[in-house]
Amino acid sequence: MAARIPIDRIRNIGISAHIDSGKTTLTERILFYTGRIHKIHEVRGKDGVGAKMDSMDLEREKGITIQSAATYCVWVGSQNQIAPQNINIIDTPGHVDFTIEVERALRVLDGAILVLDSGKGVQSQSITVDKQMKRYRVPRIAFVNKMDNPGANYERVSDMLKEKLNHHPVKLQVPMGAESAFKGLIDPIIGKAFFFEGADGEIIKEVEIPEEYKKAAADARHQIIQDVADVDDVLAEKFINEEPVSVDELRAAIRRATLALKMTPVMCGSAIKNKGVQLLLDAVIHYLPNPTEVVNEAHDQAKGEEKVIVQSDSTKPFVGLAFKLQQDKYGQLTYFRVYQGSVTAGDTIYNTSNEMRKVRVPRMFRMHSDDREEIESAEAGDIVAFYGVEASSGETFTDGKVNLTLTSMHVPAAVISLAVAPKDRAGETNFSKALNRFTKEDPTFRVHQDEESQQTIISGMGELHLDIYIERIRREYGCEVVSGKPQVAYRESVTKKAEINYTHKKQTGGSGQYAKVMGYIEPLPADAVESYEFVDDVSGGSIPREFISSCDKGFKDAVRKGTLIGFPIVGIRCAVNDGAAHAVDSSEMAFKTAAMMGFREAYAKAGATILEPIMKVEIDVPSEFQGSVVGQVNQRRGVIMDTIAGDTVTVTCEVPLNAMFGYSTDLRSATQGKGTFTMEFSKYAVVPRQEQEEMIKKYKEHLAAEAKK
C-alpha cells in the first residue's frame, strides 16, 4: 500500500455550476491529467461511453448529472514541481431539481471550484450555488470555462461576479486570444506564458511571455497586487511602501484572502479544448484550504448541545458524517467524511444522531465514481464509503468516546407532489422497497399517505426530479408506475389580526371537560424565518402553566390543514393571553381542543387567503425567438425580471409553478428545439382572487363527495 499523503497535502473540493457550464467535462480532464483515467470520454460523446463521473445510464442518456459522484486523484503540479497532493473531488449536478446533491457535497467539502460559462457568465443556478457556498463558508476559485466559444469574455464574467454575487474577484490570468483564436494563458504572477499541446493538451509548454502581451501581463500583475492588497493587510503594507512583491509573498496573500472569504481568484480556460485545466489544479493546491485550515463545529450532546470545534487530528476520538447513501448490487454504500480521528475496517462506531446505536464497519472503500478501491483505514480529512453501515443522510458517527453531532445540512422544502401507484399488485413489494430506499438517500424526496384518498404521494423539487425517480423505479426495480396530475404545494395564510375567544365545555358521566382560551392570530412579518410562531402572554395564572403547551399543540394541529383548500397554514402567529380553567374538569386534552376550535373560529375572520409557489425561471433562446418566449411567459401569468441580449437572449422571470406544467414542450415547439430553461423555487405569493374562488369551490365539492361515500 502506498505511503499515506499527509493531511496538509489533502484537498477536498467540489465542482459546482449552472447546468451546462461544463463541470463534468472539467472533472473528466482533471482525472485524465492526474492519471486516474487513460482516455477522455465526453458527456454526450459519440462513443456511447459517456463521462466517467456520469455512471448512471439515465445520466448518460440525458447528458446531465443527477447524482453527485466522488473520486480522488493525486496531483504533482503542472511542471512536476510540487510534492504529491491528494485531491478528493465531488462533481455535483447543475440542475436545480437535484440541489440537495450540491447542498450535501458543500456541507462536507473544504473548498470549491465555481464553473462559469465565458459567454453567459453568472446565471440563475450560479447564484443558487453561490448562496450554498456562502451558507457553508466554502472558499472558492471561479473558473471561466468555454473560452473558445463565441462571445467568450473573461473580463465581463469577472465583473459579473462582483455585480451579481458581491464577490471581490481577482483575475489571476491573461488569456491569449478568445473565441476561436483562444490559444493559451499567461500567469502574470510568475511572468510566464503557457501553451497546451499534444492530442489531449497533456504537453504543457512554459515559455517567455510573447512581446505583444508583455505590457498586458505587467499591468495584470500590478492589478493583482493592488486588488489583493485591498483585502490583505500584510500585502497592503508592501504595496503602500512600493516594495517589490515576490511570487511566494503574492501567493501567500492570495491564499490568506481566499481562505478568509475576502476574495475570489478568477481563472479561465477551455475544458473541452484541453486548455488551462492543469493551471487550475495548481491553483487548487496554492489557494484552497487543507482540512486543518477549516473550522468544523459540532454540538456536544453530553453538555447540553454546547458548541465544540472538531479538530482534523487523527489521534483524537473518531467523528464522521454520513452525507450520502447509495444502493448498488452489493448493498448500501454510505459515504463518509472523516472529520476527526481515524477508523479501521472491523471497528465498532456509534450513531450519535440515533441514540448511540452501534454498528460495525465491515468494509471501507475509496470511491472513483462507480469503481471502488478497498482500504483498511481512513483518517481525518478523508472522504470514503462504508459498506453495510445503516444510516440516513446527515447522521453523525463517533467511536463512542465522545457524544458529538455535527451541524446538519439545509434541506429545502418540496414544491411539487404526485400521486403514484404500482401498475399491478405484483409490483407492490418492489414499489415500497424503492420508495424506502429513495427517501433515505435523498432528503428532498418525500413520501406520505394521503389520509382521505389513501393514495401514495411523492413530493420533490420539480417535475424532472420526480420523473427521474419514477424512471428509476421502473429500471432498477422492474416496477411500472402510474401517476396522477402533478399537485402544486399550495399554502394558506391570514392577512389580518383576529381575536380568539373560545370556551370548550363537555359534561359526561363523571368528570367533564372545561377550558377557556382567549388570544389572537395574526400574520407574521414577511421576513420571518419560521412559518409558525406561538406567543404565551398569559399572566396571573388564568391558564395554569401545565396547560400552556397544550394550547400550542392545539394551534399546531389546526395549522396543519387550512379550511379553504385543505393545505397547511403558514406565516402565522398564534397568541394566548387569557382564559379560564376548572379545578376538576380541565385537562391537557380540553385546552388542546379549545385552542384548535378557537383558532378555526378566528381563522374565518382573519382574511384567510391561498398562497402558491412562484418559481424563478431563466430561459435561454436564440435572439430571433425572444418575442414568442416573452409572449409565452405573459400567458402563464409570468413577470419578466431581467433580459440580457447577446447572441442568445436570457430572460429571467417569475412564474407560478402551476402555470409551468408542460412548459418544456411548449418552449421546444416555439424555438425549434433550441430553447432551454431552468427553474427554481423563489417565494410564495397570493393566488389571484378569481382563481382562489374556483379552488375553494372545487375543494368544497370534493368534501361533499367524500361525505356521501
Secondary structure letter of residue 209 according to DSSP? P
Q: Which of 660, 578, 564 is nearest to 613 (CA)?
A: 660
pLDDT of residue 3: 62
Most confident of 78-82, 158-162, 386-390, 502-506: 158-162
pLDDT digit string (tens) for 325-374? Answer: 777 666 778 888 899 999 998 899 988 877 788 888 888 888 776 677 88
pLDDT digit string (tens) for 33-82? Answer: 988 877 766 554 444 444 444 445 655 565 555 556 678 888 988 888 78
Which DSSP string corresponds to 94-133? -SGGGHHHHHHHHHH-SEEEEEEETTTBS-HHHHHHHHHH
State what percent of residues in the chain have pLDDT above 70. Answer: 92
pLDDT digit string (tens) for 305-332? Answer: 788 888 888 899 999 988 887 776 667 7
User: Which residue in this structure is represented by grid cell 390543514?
Assistant: 561
Query: Are 435 and 455 spatial neighbours (Cβ–Cβ below 8 Å)?
Result: no
> Who wins on pLDDT, 508 or 559?
559
Query: Are 299 and 366 spatial neighbours (Cβ–Cβ below 8 Å)?
Result: no
pLDDT of residue 564: 93
pLDDT digit string (tens) for 206-240? Answer: 999 999 999 999 999 999 999 999 999 999 999 99
> Who wins on pLDDT, 480 or 18?
480
pLDDT of residue 113: 92
Q: Look up residue 259 and give its three cell numbers.
A: 481562505
C-alpha distance across the termini of the chain, in Å: 70
pLDDT of residue 196: 94
pLDDT digit string (tens) for 446-472? Answer: 898 876 667 888 888 777 788 888 988
What's the chain's average pLDDT? 86
pLDDT greater than 50 at residue 410 = yes
Quick one: three-class SS letters along 394-445?
CEEEECCCCCEEECCCCCCCCCEEEEEEECCHHHHHHHHHHHHHHHHHCCCC
The pTM of this model reads: 0.73
Query: Are 194 and 226 spatial neighbours (Cβ–Cβ below 8 Å)?
Result: no
Query: Are 254 and 263 spatial neighbours (Cβ–Cβ below 8 Å)?
Result: yes
Q: Compute the average pLDDT of residues 88-107.
A: 72
Q: Compute the average pLDDT of residues 232-256.
A: 94
Most confident of 64-68, 498-502, 667-671: 498-502
> Who wins on pLDDT, 543 or 709?
543
Q: Which of 191, 196, 218, 224 is nearest to 280 (CA)?
A: 196
pLDDT greater than 80 at residue 573 = yes
Q: Compute the average pLDDT of residues 403-415.
A: 77
pLDDT of residue 53: 47
Q: What angle do CA 280, 154, 18 make, to 5 degrees?
A: 70
Compute CA distances 314 → 89, 292, 294, 344, 364, whole Å: 21, 11, 15, 12, 17
Q: Which of 515, 525, 580 is nearest to 554 (CA)?
A: 515
Query: Are 122 and 128 spatial neighbours (Cβ–Cβ below 8 Å)?
Result: no
User: Which residue in this structure is represented by grid cell 380553567?
Assistant: 581
pLDDT of residue 97: 62
pLDDT greater than 50 at residue 615 = yes
Taking CB atoms within 8 Å and a gap of at least 24, the contacts of 239-248 are 247/189, 247/190
Taking the C-alpha atoms of residue 12 and residue 139, their distance in angstroms, rounded to an integer, is: 11
Taking the C-alpha atoms of residue 208 and residue 231, their distance in angstroms, rounded to an integer, is: 30
Taking the C-alpha atoms of residue 240 and residue 29, their distance in angstroms, rounded to an integer, is: 41
Mean pLDDT is lowest, of 267-281, 410-424, 488-502, 683-697, for 410-424
User: Which residue in this structure is represented by grid cell 399543540?
Assistant: 553
pLDDT of residue 116: 93
Most confident of 362-371, 663-672, 688-697: 688-697
pLDDT of residue 312: 87
Query: Are 11 and 82 spatial neighbours (Cβ–Cβ below 8 Å)?
Result: no
Amino acid making up residue 404: L
Residues 6+ apart with CB under 8 A from 242: none
pLDDT of residue 540: 80
